[in-house]
Amino acid sequence: METWMRRCSLAAIVLFLMPSLSSTQPAEGHGTVFVLSDLDMVPTVYETGELGPPDPHYLDTLSIITSPTERSRSVAMMEVSNSTYGPPGALDVSLDGRFVFVAETFRQRPERATRLDELQQGDTIRSLRLDGGHSSAVDSVRIGIQPQAIHLNPAGDLIAAITVGAEHELTFVPVREGRFGPVSSFGLGLEPSTGFIPLKASWVQWHPSGRYIGVNLVDRGQVAFYEVLRGKDGAVSAVRPWGNRVQTNKFPFVGRFSPDGRYYITSDVQWGIDTTGFYGVQEGILTTVRLADVGATGNAARHFVPHIALGGWGAETIAFSPDGRFLVTSNLRGTGKPDGSRDWTEHASLSLYQLDTETGRLSPHGEWPLAGVLPQGLAFDRTGQKLFVGVNRYRNEEAPLRDMADHDGGTPGARSHIGSHQTAHGRPHHSRPLSVREWDSRPGRLIFEALRMKKRTPEGALPGSSESRPSQVCAYFGSLSSTPLT
């Protein structure tokens, strides 16, 4: 891996702050992208255990990019400890966009530490206030060892978290005006697993109703659903299983509820100690779970699997379009492999699927090569026409603007400077997909990637690449993204 590459990893989230829209075509660029950058985690750390060289000039960072697709965009940054080790679920945003919540999976790097196993486990969620382009720390709370994922409920007043702490893996924290309330922790109450996966649970998501959560149980290839009960003080008083646990395929790393709440889809990446190098399988599975009706109890609360689809290589993150018609996965492929590995690949990829809301079937629409390394972090804008992709880095000094519809090798763009950031702009083109990338003047420091996608029927599917395999997509949604388009 080239030594000049910027040592940062990204997770992106889109939050549109417009409370209502008069049409399905909101003004371009009105929104904010939030990006976490982890200084220590170079792409090969998962294979070699070696951290990147220490750099005293840079720290773990939250970047706030306002009006990201306009020339007038602005970028603000603040230090916040975070780690990309684990699923892309360490970041969430309040419904009004005023507060950002960041989970710390591993603490800041100790002096002279060179390996992943020398990092101290984190146990904290931090709240940051955003005010007129400025940001400041508001509160912090300890929730348990090595939080894997956090998610704010649809009402915006309760965070659910998954940790690796024995007997209290599931944690809830009330939040109001950025300040945390009393922590409630619960065990999952599971029987011992087979032992092939050294992690019990990796992911938690709120159902759109706000009554239930989904928890991905990677050690046994299942997803469990729980009803969350709260007391008058807002704290969680109990959780109880909602219906049956559902068998997925191997290592269901992440999952997403469809915006209408009828389905839960997991990305099963097939990892494990019984595979070559733990990450050796080059295909994944997407499992569709049809959920029981909201409010169903007893025998009526039955969840089942109506469909599975072939997924991408290392589909570590997934995202639904706001209207629930499409699912995107970002695929790591072999971009994190060390130089010389036979599994090394130059490109990652994005895959697009269409969901049949009546049957739960996912129909593939194609796969596109992505000139980035280890994409982690996916979010649609409110229109569903733009997709923001967090990328660890680019291999080349510049990732050119590229028209994905015609594969014509590039679209002319103008460059402008925003502080130390260099931005590539393409001229608007309403009939074709447009890819926009922003990077720093230092090679390889990607801030975000936006992909404009024109939705089409299966007969007019977006063009794919026969040379690359499907993969996973990582998504974080703001408060408005769960509202179907009209």
Residue 431 three-state SS: coil
174, 235 Cβ separation under 8 angstroms: yes
**Coil, strand, or helix at residue 104?**
strand
State the amino acid at position 390 in one-letter form.
Answer: G
How do residues 268-283 score in pLDDT, each as one tens digit?
Answer: 999 888 888 888 889 9
C-alpha dist (Å) from residue 91 to 293, 447, 474, 478: 29, 16, 12, 11
CA distance 325 to 317: 17
329 pLDDT higher than 80: yes
For residue range 227-243, list pLDDT tens digits in order.
999 998 889 999 999 99
Average pLDDT over residues 98-119: 89
Q: Are 269 and 472 in contact (CB under 8 A)?
A: yes
Phi, psi of 211 (to 5 degrees): -90, -25
User: Which has the closest alpha carbon to 261: 288, 294, 228?
Assistant: 294
Are the C-beta atoms of residues 379 and 13 closer than 8 Å to each other? Answer: yes
Cα(34)–Cα(19) distance, rounded to whole angstroms? 19
d(C-alpha 226, C-alpha 208), whole Å:
13
- Concatenated DSSP letters of 151-174: EE-TTSSEEEEE---TT--EEEEE
Residue 475 has pLDDT above 70, yes or no: no
Report the DSSP beta bridge partners of residue 389.
378, 449
Q: For the segment 355-404, what is each residue's pLDDT rounded down to a tens digit?
A: 999 999 999 999 998 888 888 888 888 888 888 888 887 776 444 333 22
Question: pLDDT per residue over 433-455, tens digit each?
Answer: 222 333 322 222 333 344 433 33
- 314-349 burial string, b = 16+ CB within 10 Å, else e? bbbbbbbbbbbbbbbbbbbbbbbbeeeeebebebbb
CATH fold of 10-460: Methylamine Dehydrogenase; Chain H (2.130.10)
Collapse the DSSP code of 48 into the 3-class scheme (helix H, G, I; strand E, B; otherwise coil) and give the result. helix
